[in-house]
Amino acid sequence: MIQDRSPGRNWAGNYTYRARKLHRPSTIEQLQEVIANAPRVRVLGSRHSFNDIADSSELITLEATPMDVVVDHATDTVSFNAALKYGELVHSLNEEGVALHNLASLPHISVAGAVATATHGSGEANGNLATAVAGLELVTSGGEIIEVSRGEPDFDGFVVGLGALGAVTRITLDVEPAYEVRQRVFEGLSWEALFEHFDEIISSGYSVSIFTRWGETIDQVWVKSRVTDEPEQVESDLFGATAAAVDRHPILGLDASSCTPQLGRAGPWADRLPHFRMGFTPSSGEELQSEYLFPRRYAVEAIEAVRNLAAEIRPLLQVSEIRTVAADRLWMSMNYGQDTVGIHFTWKPEREAVGGMLVQLETALVPFEARPHWGKLFNANAATIAPLYERMSDFIRLVERLDPRGAFRNSWLEAHVLGES
Ligand SMILES: Cc1cc2nc3c(=O)[nH]c(=O)nc-3n(C[C@H](O)[C@H](O)[C@H](O)COP(=O)(O)OP(=O)(O)OC[C@H]3O[C@@H](n4cnc5c(N)ncnc54)[C@H](O)[C@@H]3O)c2cc1C
Protein backbone atom coordinates (compact mmCIF):
# COMPACT_ATOMS: atom_id res chain seq x y z
CA MET A 1 0.00 0.00 0.00
CA ILE A 2 1.38 3.42 -0.99
CA GLN A 3 1.47 6.19 1.57
CA ASP A 4 2.28 9.82 0.71
CA ARG A 5 3.84 12.16 3.25
CA SER A 6 1.31 14.96 2.94
CA PRO A 7 -1.88 15.46 0.94
CA GLY A 8 -1.07 19.08 0.03
CA ARG A 9 -3.84 21.55 -0.73
CA ASN A 10 -7.50 21.60 -1.75
CA TRP A 11 -8.67 22.35 -5.30
CA ALA A 12 -8.86 26.12 -4.78
CA GLY A 13 -5.49 26.19 -2.99
CA ASN A 14 -6.98 28.19 -0.09
CA TYR A 15 -6.59 25.31 2.40
CA THR A 16 -3.49 23.21 3.17
CA TYR A 17 -4.41 19.90 4.79
CA ARG A 18 -2.77 19.46 8.20
CA ALA A 19 -2.71 15.65 7.81
CA ARG A 20 0.79 14.20 7.82
CA LYS A 21 -0.17 10.99 5.98
CA LEU A 22 -2.26 10.20 2.90
CA HIS A 23 -2.98 6.46 2.69
CA ARG A 24 -3.81 4.83 -0.66
CA PRO A 25 -5.28 1.39 0.12
CA SER A 26 -6.02 -0.78 -2.91
CA THR A 27 -8.28 -3.30 -1.13
CA ILE A 28 -11.01 -3.13 1.51
CA GLU A 29 -8.79 -5.18 3.87
CA GLN A 30 -6.04 -2.55 3.60
CA LEU A 31 -8.62 0.18 4.20
CA GLN A 32 -9.86 -1.63 7.33
CA GLU A 33 -6.27 -1.92 8.58
CA VAL A 34 -5.55 1.80 8.01
CA ILE A 35 -8.73 2.80 9.85
CA ALA A 36 -8.10 0.39 12.73
CA ASN A 37 -4.60 1.80 13.28
CA ALA A 38 -5.48 5.48 12.99
CA PRO A 39 -6.47 7.48 16.06
CA ARG A 40 -8.01 10.17 13.80
CA VAL A 41 -8.72 9.70 10.10
CA ARG A 42 -10.94 10.91 7.23
CA VAL A 43 -11.50 10.00 3.62
CA LEU A 44 -10.52 12.68 1.14
CA GLY A 45 -12.64 13.04 -2.00
CA SER A 46 -11.61 15.18 -4.98
CA ARG A 47 -10.64 18.09 -2.63
CA HIS A 48 -13.26 20.51 -3.94
CA SER A 49 -14.44 21.74 -0.52
CA PHE A 50 -13.29 25.21 0.46
CA ASN A 51 -12.97 24.55 4.20
CA ASP A 52 -11.36 21.97 6.52
CA ILE A 53 -14.32 19.53 6.46
CA ALA A 54 -12.14 16.78 4.95
CA ASP A 55 -9.06 17.22 7.16
CA SER A 56 -7.75 14.99 9.95
CA SER A 57 -4.37 13.87 11.26
CA GLU A 58 -4.40 11.05 8.69
CA LEU A 59 -6.25 10.94 5.36
CA ILE A 60 -7.24 8.17 2.98
CA THR A 61 -7.89 8.28 -0.73
CA LEU A 62 -9.86 5.43 -2.29
CA GLU A 63 -8.60 6.21 -5.79
CA ALA A 64 -6.46 3.03 -5.88
CA THR A 65 -9.37 0.68 -5.15
CA PRO A 66 -11.15 -0.86 -8.20
CA MET A 67 -13.84 1.39 -9.70
CA ASP A 68 -16.09 -1.58 -10.55
CA VAL A 69 -19.13 0.18 -12.09
CA VAL A 70 -22.23 -2.04 -12.33
CA VAL A 71 -25.46 -0.85 -13.97
CA ASP A 72 -28.48 -2.90 -12.94
CA HIS A 73 -31.30 -2.39 -15.46
CA ALA A 74 -33.71 -4.45 -13.35
CA THR A 75 -33.53 -2.05 -10.39
CA ASP A 76 -32.62 1.11 -12.40
CA THR A 77 -29.49 1.65 -10.34
CA VAL A 78 -25.73 1.92 -10.76
CA SER A 79 -23.24 0.96 -8.06
CA PHE A 80 -19.54 1.81 -8.02
CA ASN A 81 -16.47 2.70 -5.98
CA ALA A 82 -17.18 5.83 -3.95
CA ALA A 83 -14.03 7.62 -5.19
CA LEU A 84 -15.40 7.86 -8.71
CA LYS A 85 -15.95 11.38 -10.10
CA TYR A 86 -19.22 12.21 -11.83
CA GLY A 87 -17.36 12.84 -15.11
CA GLU A 88 -15.92 9.30 -14.97
CA LEU A 89 -19.20 7.68 -13.95
CA VAL A 90 -20.94 9.32 -16.91
CA HIS A 91 -18.88 7.25 -19.41
CA SER A 92 -20.26 4.01 -18.00
CA LEU A 93 -23.79 5.41 -17.82
CA ASN A 94 -23.64 6.54 -21.46
CA GLU A 95 -22.55 3.07 -22.56
CA GLU A 96 -25.61 1.62 -20.83
CA GLY A 97 -28.03 4.32 -22.07
CA VAL A 98 -28.90 5.58 -18.59
CA ALA A 99 -28.63 8.93 -16.80
CA LEU A 100 -28.72 10.62 -13.40
CA HIS A 101 -31.48 13.07 -12.52
CA ASN A 102 -29.09 15.99 -12.09
CA LEU A 103 -25.48 17.15 -11.83
CA ALA A 104 -23.61 19.98 -10.09
CA SER A 105 -21.96 22.88 -11.92
CA LEU A 106 -18.92 20.79 -12.81
CA PRO A 107 -18.32 17.07 -13.32
CA HIS A 108 -14.88 16.89 -11.66
CA ILE A 109 -16.24 16.29 -8.12
CA SER A 110 -16.19 12.83 -6.47
CA VAL A 111 -19.60 11.27 -5.94
CA ALA A 112 -18.86 10.39 -2.29
CA GLY A 113 -17.69 13.93 -1.46
CA ALA A 114 -20.69 15.48 -3.21
CA VAL A 115 -23.15 13.16 -1.46
CA ALA A 116 -21.48 13.71 1.95
CA THR A 117 -22.11 17.48 1.71
CA ALA A 118 -25.53 17.49 -0.05
CA THR A 119 -24.07 19.02 -3.19
CA HIS A 120 -26.81 20.13 -5.58
CA GLY A 121 -27.56 21.29 -9.09
CA SER A 122 -30.69 23.27 -9.87
CA GLY A 123 -34.32 22.63 -10.76
CA GLU A 124 -37.39 23.19 -8.65
CA ALA A 125 -38.43 19.54 -8.89
CA ASN A 126 -34.88 18.18 -8.59
CA GLY A 127 -33.56 16.98 -5.26
CA ASN A 128 -29.87 17.44 -4.52
CA LEU A 129 -27.38 14.83 -5.77
CA ALA A 130 -27.57 12.87 -2.50
CA THR A 131 -31.27 12.17 -3.08
CA ALA A 132 -30.27 9.76 -5.88
CA VAL A 133 -28.52 7.50 -3.34
CA ALA A 134 -30.31 4.16 -3.06
CA GLY A 135 -27.64 2.43 -1.01
CA LEU A 136 -24.25 2.83 0.66
CA GLU A 137 -21.53 0.54 1.92
CA LEU A 138 -19.14 1.87 4.53
CA VAL A 139 -16.32 0.79 6.79
CA THR A 140 -16.76 2.06 10.35
CA SER A 141 -14.03 3.01 12.81
CA GLY A 142 -14.45 -0.44 14.38
CA GLY A 143 -13.54 -2.03 11.01
CA GLU A 144 -17.07 -3.31 10.40
CA ILE A 145 -18.51 -3.24 6.86
CA ILE A 146 -22.07 -1.87 6.93
CA GLU A 147 -24.56 -1.77 4.06
CA VAL A 148 -27.63 0.46 4.20
CA SER A 149 -30.40 0.84 1.65
CA ARG A 150 -33.20 3.35 1.20
CA GLY A 151 -36.12 2.53 3.46
CA GLU A 152 -34.00 0.97 6.22
CA PRO A 153 -33.82 2.55 9.69
CA ASP A 154 -31.56 5.62 9.86
CA PHE A 155 -30.79 5.49 6.11
CA ASP A 156 -31.79 9.16 5.81
CA GLY A 157 -29.12 9.97 8.40
CA PHE A 158 -26.39 7.98 6.67
CA VAL A 159 -26.49 9.64 3.25
CA VAL A 160 -25.35 13.22 3.95
CA GLY A 161 -22.83 11.89 6.44
CA LEU A 162 -20.37 14.83 6.39
CA GLY A 163 -17.57 12.23 6.36
CA ALA A 164 -18.30 11.58 10.05
CA LEU A 165 -19.79 8.07 9.98
CA GLY A 166 -17.05 6.04 8.31
CA ALA A 167 -15.35 5.47 4.97
CA VAL A 168 -17.98 5.10 2.26
CA THR A 169 -16.64 2.44 -0.10
CA ARG A 170 -19.52 1.80 -2.51
CA ILE A 171 -22.48 3.91 -3.58
CA THR A 172 -25.64 2.88 -5.40
CA LEU A 173 -27.50 5.63 -7.28
CA ASP A 174 -30.88 5.68 -9.04
CA VAL A 175 -30.68 5.96 -12.81
CA GLU A 176 -33.27 6.64 -15.51
CA PRO A 177 -33.26 6.31 -19.31
CA ALA A 178 -30.75 8.70 -20.93
CA TYR A 179 -32.25 12.01 -22.05
CA GLU A 180 -31.19 15.11 -23.97
CA VAL A 181 -31.10 18.70 -22.78
CA ARG A 182 -31.00 22.11 -24.50
CA GLN A 183 -29.40 25.07 -22.83
CA ARG A 184 -30.21 28.73 -23.52
CA VAL A 185 -28.85 31.84 -21.86
CA PHE A 186 -30.88 35.04 -21.43
CA GLU A 187 -29.17 38.34 -20.66
CA GLY A 188 -30.03 41.53 -18.86
CA LEU A 189 -33.05 40.49 -16.75
CA SER A 190 -34.24 43.39 -14.57
CA TRP A 191 -34.49 43.01 -10.81
CA GLU A 192 -38.11 44.15 -10.99
CA ALA A 193 -38.92 41.33 -13.45
CA LEU A 194 -37.16 38.78 -11.22
CA PHE A 195 -39.04 39.88 -8.09
CA GLU A 196 -42.39 40.03 -9.89
CA HIS A 197 -41.99 36.74 -11.78
CA PHE A 198 -39.57 34.72 -9.60
CA ASP A 199 -41.65 31.54 -9.74
CA GLU A 200 -42.16 31.66 -13.50
CA ILE A 201 -38.49 32.42 -14.21
CA ILE A 202 -37.06 29.79 -11.90
CA SER A 203 -39.46 27.18 -13.30
CA SER A 204 -38.88 28.12 -16.97
CA GLY A 205 -36.72 25.00 -17.46
CA TYR A 206 -35.78 21.65 -15.96
CA SER A 207 -32.78 23.35 -14.32
CA VAL A 208 -32.43 27.13 -14.08
CA SER A 209 -29.48 29.18 -12.80
CA ILE A 210 -29.50 32.94 -12.34
CA PHE A 211 -26.05 34.58 -12.47
CA THR A 212 -25.62 38.07 -11.08
CA ARG A 213 -22.92 40.44 -9.85
CA TRP A 214 -25.59 42.42 -7.96
CA GLY A 215 -25.37 45.31 -10.46
CA GLU A 216 -28.04 47.30 -12.28
CA THR A 217 -29.49 44.18 -13.92
CA ILE A 218 -29.10 40.44 -13.52
CA ASP A 219 -26.33 39.32 -15.89
CA GLN A 220 -27.64 35.96 -17.15
CA VAL A 221 -30.34 33.32 -16.71
CA TRP A 222 -29.28 29.83 -17.84
CA VAL A 223 -32.28 27.69 -18.75
CA LYS A 224 -31.69 23.96 -19.26
CA SER A 225 -34.70 22.12 -20.72
CA ARG A 226 -35.22 18.42 -21.31
CA VAL A 227 -35.85 17.58 -24.94
CA THR A 228 -39.31 16.06 -25.42
CA ASP A 229 -41.30 14.83 -28.41
CA GLU A 230 -43.22 18.12 -28.39
CA PRO A 231 -42.05 20.77 -30.90
CA GLU A 232 -39.60 23.16 -29.20
CA GLN A 233 -40.86 26.63 -28.25
CA VAL A 234 -37.96 28.94 -29.08
CA GLU A 235 -38.22 32.01 -26.87
CA SER A 236 -36.17 35.07 -27.82
CA ASP A 237 -37.13 36.81 -24.59
CA LEU A 238 -37.55 35.86 -20.93
CA PHE A 239 -39.48 38.57 -19.08
CA GLY A 240 -37.48 41.26 -20.90
CA ALA A 241 -34.12 39.41 -20.91
CA THR A 242 -32.87 38.65 -24.41
CA ALA A 243 -31.56 35.31 -25.70
CA ALA A 244 -27.73 35.35 -26.02
CA ALA A 245 -26.47 35.05 -29.60
CA VAL A 246 -23.15 33.41 -28.61
CA ASP A 247 -22.09 30.94 -25.88
CA ARG A 248 -21.49 32.63 -22.53
CA HIS A 249 -19.34 32.01 -19.44
CA PRO A 250 -21.19 32.59 -16.13
CA ILE A 251 -18.67 35.36 -15.40
CA LEU A 252 -19.36 37.86 -18.19
CA GLY A 253 -16.27 38.54 -20.28
CA LEU A 254 -14.52 35.21 -19.60
CA ASP A 255 -13.90 32.81 -22.49
CA ALA A 256 -16.84 30.41 -22.85
CA SER A 257 -14.81 27.54 -24.34
CA SER A 258 -14.70 25.80 -20.93
CA CYS A 259 -18.52 25.92 -20.76
CA THR A 260 -21.06 23.37 -21.91
CA PRO A 261 -22.76 24.15 -25.28
CA GLN A 262 -25.65 26.62 -25.27
CA LEU A 263 -27.77 28.33 -28.00
CA GLY A 264 -30.43 25.64 -27.74
CA ARG A 265 -28.27 22.90 -29.29
CA ALA A 266 -29.69 19.61 -28.01
CA GLY A 267 -27.13 17.25 -26.48
CA PRO A 268 -26.68 14.45 -23.94
CA TRP A 269 -27.79 15.25 -20.37
CA ALA A 270 -24.23 15.10 -18.97
CA ASP A 271 -22.93 17.58 -21.56
CA ARG A 272 -25.54 20.18 -20.69
CA LEU A 273 -26.49 19.91 -16.98
CA PRO A 274 -23.05 20.98 -15.64
CA HIS A 275 -22.00 24.52 -16.60
CA PHE A 276 -18.40 23.40 -17.20
CA ARG A 277 -16.99 20.66 -19.40
CA MET A 278 -14.85 17.82 -18.11
CA GLY A 279 -11.27 18.24 -19.35
CA PHE A 280 -11.27 22.04 -18.89
CA THR A 281 -10.27 24.09 -15.86
CA PRO A 282 -13.67 24.67 -14.34
CA SER A 283 -14.90 28.00 -13.17
CA SER A 284 -12.18 30.67 -12.97
CA GLY A 285 -9.79 28.54 -10.85
CA GLU A 286 -8.65 31.37 -8.53
CA GLU A 287 -11.63 31.63 -6.21
CA LEU A 288 -13.39 31.02 -2.93
CA GLN A 289 -17.02 29.97 -2.63
CA SER A 290 -19.88 30.32 -0.12
CA GLU A 291 -23.55 29.46 -0.37
CA TYR A 292 -26.64 29.89 1.79
CA LEU A 293 -29.86 27.94 1.27
CA PHE A 294 -33.23 29.00 2.67
CA PRO A 295 -36.91 28.05 2.29
CA ARG A 296 -38.27 29.02 -1.09
CA ARG A 297 -41.06 31.11 0.46
CA TYR A 298 -38.39 33.68 1.44
CA ALA A 299 -36.85 33.87 -2.06
CA VAL A 300 -37.63 37.48 -2.94
CA GLU A 301 -37.07 38.90 0.56
CA ALA A 302 -33.76 37.09 1.00
CA ILE A 303 -32.48 38.10 -2.43
CA GLU A 304 -33.44 41.70 -1.62
CA ALA A 305 -31.59 41.47 1.72
CA VAL A 306 -28.43 40.35 -0.09
CA ARG A 307 -28.90 43.01 -2.76
CA ASN A 308 -28.90 45.64 0.01
CA LEU A 309 -25.27 44.63 0.61
CA ALA A 310 -24.34 44.95 -3.09
CA ALA A 311 -21.89 47.81 -2.55
CA GLU A 312 -19.87 45.71 -0.08
CA ILE A 313 -20.23 42.44 -2.01
CA ARG A 314 -19.28 43.64 -5.49
CA PRO A 315 -15.58 44.46 -4.93
CA LEU A 316 -14.99 40.92 -3.56
CA LEU A 317 -17.20 38.99 -5.95
CA GLN A 318 -16.62 37.18 -9.23
CA VAL A 319 -20.24 36.07 -9.62
CA SER A 320 -23.29 34.87 -7.67
CA GLU A 321 -25.60 32.05 -8.71
CA ILE A 322 -29.19 31.61 -7.57
CA ARG A 323 -30.64 28.09 -7.87
CA THR A 324 -33.55 26.04 -6.51
CA VAL A 325 -33.46 22.57 -4.94
CA ALA A 326 -36.45 20.34 -4.11
CA ALA A 327 -37.15 19.29 -0.51
CA ASP A 328 -35.81 15.95 0.76
CA ARG A 329 -35.79 13.84 3.95
CA LEU A 330 -32.00 13.46 4.39
CA TRP A 331 -31.30 14.59 7.95
CA MET A 332 -28.25 16.77 7.30
CA SER A 333 -29.24 18.03 3.86
CA MET A 334 -29.49 21.81 3.42
CA ASN A 335 -32.78 20.99 1.67
CA TYR A 336 -34.25 18.84 4.47
CA GLY A 337 -38.00 19.33 4.73
CA GLN A 338 -38.29 22.37 2.47
CA ASP A 339 -38.10 23.44 -1.15
CA THR A 340 -35.06 25.64 -1.15
CA VAL A 341 -33.41 28.58 -2.88
CA GLY A 342 -29.62 28.86 -2.72
CA ILE A 343 -27.61 32.04 -3.17
CA HIS A 344 -24.06 31.13 -4.08
CA PHE A 345 -21.02 33.45 -4.14
CA THR A 346 -17.84 32.86 -6.14
CA TRP A 347 -15.43 35.26 -4.44
CA LYS A 348 -12.06 36.63 -5.42
CA PRO A 349 -9.37 34.80 -3.40
CA GLU A 350 -9.25 37.44 -0.63
CA ARG A 351 -9.79 35.26 2.44
CA GLU A 352 -9.76 37.90 5.13
CA ALA A 353 -12.08 40.38 3.43
CA VAL A 354 -14.41 37.55 2.36
CA GLY A 355 -14.50 36.33 6.00
CA GLY A 356 -15.75 39.77 7.09
CA MET A 357 -18.33 39.78 4.31
CA LEU A 358 -19.65 36.39 5.43
CA VAL A 359 -20.35 37.81 8.91
CA GLN A 360 -22.46 40.55 7.32
CA LEU A 361 -24.23 38.14 4.99
CA GLU A 362 -25.02 35.64 7.72
CA THR A 363 -26.44 38.43 9.89
CA ALA A 364 -28.60 39.67 7.00
CA LEU A 365 -29.87 36.13 6.31
CA VAL A 366 -30.80 35.21 9.92
CA PRO A 367 -34.53 36.01 9.40
CA PHE A 368 -34.61 33.54 6.50
CA GLU A 369 -33.30 30.49 8.41
CA ALA A 370 -30.42 30.18 5.93
CA ARG A 371 -28.37 27.00 6.09
CA PRO A 372 -24.75 27.31 4.91
CA HIS A 373 -23.44 24.84 2.30
CA TRP A 374 -21.32 22.34 4.25
CA GLY A 375 -18.50 22.25 1.67
CA LYS A 376 -18.05 26.01 1.24
CA LEU A 377 -16.86 28.87 3.44
CA PHE A 378 -19.08 30.07 6.29
CA ASN A 379 -18.77 31.34 9.87
CA ALA A 380 -21.82 29.93 11.68
CA ASN A 381 -20.96 27.65 14.60
CA ALA A 382 -22.75 24.57 15.92
CA ALA A 383 -24.97 26.56 18.29
CA THR A 384 -26.28 28.70 15.41
CA ILE A 385 -26.64 25.79 13.02
CA ALA A 386 -28.32 23.26 15.36
CA PRO A 387 -31.78 24.92 15.44
CA LEU A 388 -31.84 24.88 11.63
CA TYR A 389 -31.70 21.06 11.52
CA GLU A 390 -34.68 19.21 13.01
CA ARG A 391 -32.79 15.87 12.98
CA MET A 392 -29.48 17.23 14.33
CA SER A 393 -29.66 15.31 17.62
CA ASP A 394 -30.52 12.08 15.77
CA PHE A 395 -27.49 12.63 13.54
CA ILE A 396 -25.21 13.20 16.52
CA ARG A 397 -26.52 9.96 18.08
CA LEU A 398 -25.79 8.16 14.80
CA VAL A 399 -22.22 9.56 14.80
CA GLU A 400 -21.74 8.35 18.39
CA ARG A 401 -23.15 4.90 17.61
CA LEU A 402 -21.11 4.30 14.46
CA ASP A 403 -17.90 5.95 15.62
CA PRO A 404 -17.74 5.58 19.43
CA ARG A 405 -13.97 6.11 19.51
CA GLY A 406 -14.28 9.37 17.53
CA ALA A 407 -11.85 8.37 14.77
CA PHE A 408 -13.77 10.29 12.10
CA ARG A 409 -14.25 13.42 14.22
CA ASN A 410 -12.32 16.49 13.16
CA SER A 411 -12.16 20.09 14.23
CA TRP A 412 -14.62 21.15 11.50
CA LEU A 413 -17.24 18.68 12.82
CA GLU A 414 -16.67 19.80 16.40
CA ALA A 415 -16.96 23.50 15.51
CA HIS A 416 -19.97 23.34 13.19
CA VAL A 417 -21.97 20.24 14.15
CA LEU A 418 -21.06 18.72 17.52
CA GLY A 419 -20.39 22.02 19.27
CA GLU A 420 -17.42 20.81 21.27
CA SER A 421 -14.77 23.31 20.26
C1 LIG B 1 -15.38 24.70 -8.79
C2 LIG B 1 -16.38 24.13 -7.82
C3 LIG B 1 -17.70 24.02 -8.18
C4 LIG B 1 -18.65 23.52 -7.28
N5 LIG B 1 -19.94 23.44 -7.69
C6 LIG B 1 -20.89 23.03 -6.81
C7 LIG B 1 -22.26 22.97 -7.20
O8 LIG B 1 -22.62 23.19 -8.36
N9 LIG B 1 -23.17 22.63 -6.27
C10 LIG B 1 -22.83 22.37 -4.98
O11 LIG B 1 -23.72 22.09 -4.17
N12 LIG B 1 -21.52 22.36 -4.59
C13 LIG B 1 -20.56 22.68 -5.48
N14 LIG B 1 -19.24 22.69 -5.08
C15 LIG B 1 -18.90 22.22 -3.73
C16 LIG B 1 -18.53 20.74 -3.75
O17 LIG B 1 -19.49 19.98 -4.45
C18 LIG B 1 -18.45 20.16 -2.32
O19 LIG B 1 -17.51 20.85 -1.60
C20 LIG B 1 -18.15 18.65 -2.31
O21 LIG B 1 -18.13 18.18 -0.99
C22 LIG B 1 -16.82 18.35 -2.92
O23 LIG B 1 -16.63 16.96 -3.04
P24 LIG B 1 -15.16 16.35 -2.92
O25 LIG B 1 -15.16 14.98 -3.46
O26 LIG B 1 -14.17 17.29 -3.47
O27 LIG B 1 -15.02 16.23 -1.35
P28 LIG B 1 -13.87 16.67 -0.36
O29 LIG B 1 -13.80 18.15 -0.31
O30 LIG B 1 -12.63 15.94 -0.68
O31 LIG B 1 -14.54 16.13 0.99
C32 LIG B 1 -15.80 16.61 1.42
C33 LIG B 1 -16.35 15.71 2.52
O34 LIG B 1 -16.68 14.43 1.96
C35 LIG B 1 -16.09 13.41 2.77
N36 LIG B 1 -15.81 12.27 1.91
C37 LIG B 1 -15.29 12.25 0.67
N38 LIG B 1 -15.19 10.97 0.23
C39 LIG B 1 -15.66 10.18 1.23
C40 LIG B 1 -15.82 8.77 1.39
N41 LIG B 1 -15.50 7.91 0.42
N42 LIG B 1 -16.30 8.32 2.56
C43 LIG B 1 -16.63 9.16 3.56
N44 LIG B 1 -16.52 10.50 3.46
C45 LIG B 1 -16.04 10.99 2.30
C46 LIG B 1 -14.83 14.05 3.32
O47 LIG B 1 -14.35 13.36 4.46
C48 LIG B 1 -15.36 15.43 3.65
O49 LIG B 1 -16.04 15.39 4.87
C50 LIG B 1 -18.26 23.14 -5.96
C51 LIG B 1 -16.91 23.21 -5.60
C52 LIG B 1 -15.97 23.69 -6.53
C53 LIG B 1 -14.52 23.75 -6.16
Note the pLDDT of residue 282.
Answer: 57
Q: Which of 40, 109, 126, 410 to mutate to test the pocket of ligand 1 (most atoms within 8 A of CB)?
A: 109
Query: Measured from the CB, is residue 296 less than 6 Å from ligand 1?
Result: no
Contacts of 274-279 with CB under 8 Å at 24 or more apart are 274/86, 274/103, 274/104, 274/105, 274/106, 274/107, 274/121, 275/105, 275/106, 275/209, 275/222, 275/250, 276/105, 276/106, 276/107, 277/107, 278/87, 278/90, 278/107, 278/108
Residue whose CA is at the smallest distance from ligand 1 atom 40: 168
Phi, psi at 114, each rounded to 5°: -65, -45
What pLDDT, in 10s, does the model give residues 28-48? 999 999 999 999 999 999 999
Q: What is the pLDDT of residues 78-113, one digit of tens each?
A: 999 999 999 999 999 999 999 999 999 888 899 999
> 3-state class of 356 per DSSP?
helix
Residue 284 has pLDDT above 70, yes or no: no
Q: Residue range 167-172: average pLDDT?
A: 98
User: Which positions ≥6 away from 65 have C-beta within 8 Å?
Assistant: 25, 26, 27, 28, 31, 81, 83, 169
pLDDT digits (tens, 9 = 90+) for 317-357: 999 999 999 999 999 999 999 999 999 999 999 999 999 99
* Residue 195 Cβ contacting ligand 1 at under 6 Å: no
pLDDT band (50, 70, 90) for residue 2: low
Strand order across the 70-72 sheet: 70-72, 77-81, 167-174, 133-139, 145-149
Give the burial class of 306: count Cβ atoms within 10 A of its Cβ; 0-12 exposed, 13-18 middle, 19 or more buried: buried
- Establish whether residue 45 lines the binding site of ligand 1, counting it when its CB lies within 6 angstroms of any ligand atom: yes
Phi, psi values for residue 86, rounded to 5°:
-55, -45
Cα–Cα distance, 71 to 80 (Å, whole number): 9
Tell me the pLDDT band of 399, cut-offs 50, 70 and 90. Answer: very high
Residues in the chain: 421
Buried b (16+ CB within 10 A) or exposed e, 387-412: ebbebbeebbebbeebbeebbbbbeb
Our mutation pick for probing the ligand 1 site, out of 47, 58, 84, 117, counting the most ligand atoms within 8 A of Cβ, is: 117
Q: Write down the pLDDT at residue 3.
A: 67
Predicted pLDDT of residue 285 = 62
CA–CA dist 38, 57 (Å, integer): 9
* Mutation to probe ligand 1, out of 40, 110, 417 (largest number of atoms < 8 A from CB): 110
Task: Count CB neighbours of 385 within 10 A.
Answer: 18
Query: What's the pLDDT score for residue 4?
Result: 66
> Tens digit of pLDDT for each residue in 369-390?
999 999 999 999 999 999 999 9
CB of 168 sitting under 6 A from ligand 1 = yes
pLDDT at position 230 is: 80
Q: What does the mean pLDDT of the chain come to?
A: 94
Determine the average pLDDT of the residues in 169-174.
Answer: 98
Separation between Cα atoms, residue 66 and residue 111, nearest integer Å? 15
49 lines ligand 1 (CB under 6 A): yes
| Residue pLDDT, tens place only, 197-228 | 999 999 999 999 999 999 999 999 999 999 98
What pTM was computed for the model?
0.97
Rounded to whole angstroms, the Cα distance separating 137 from 26 reads 16
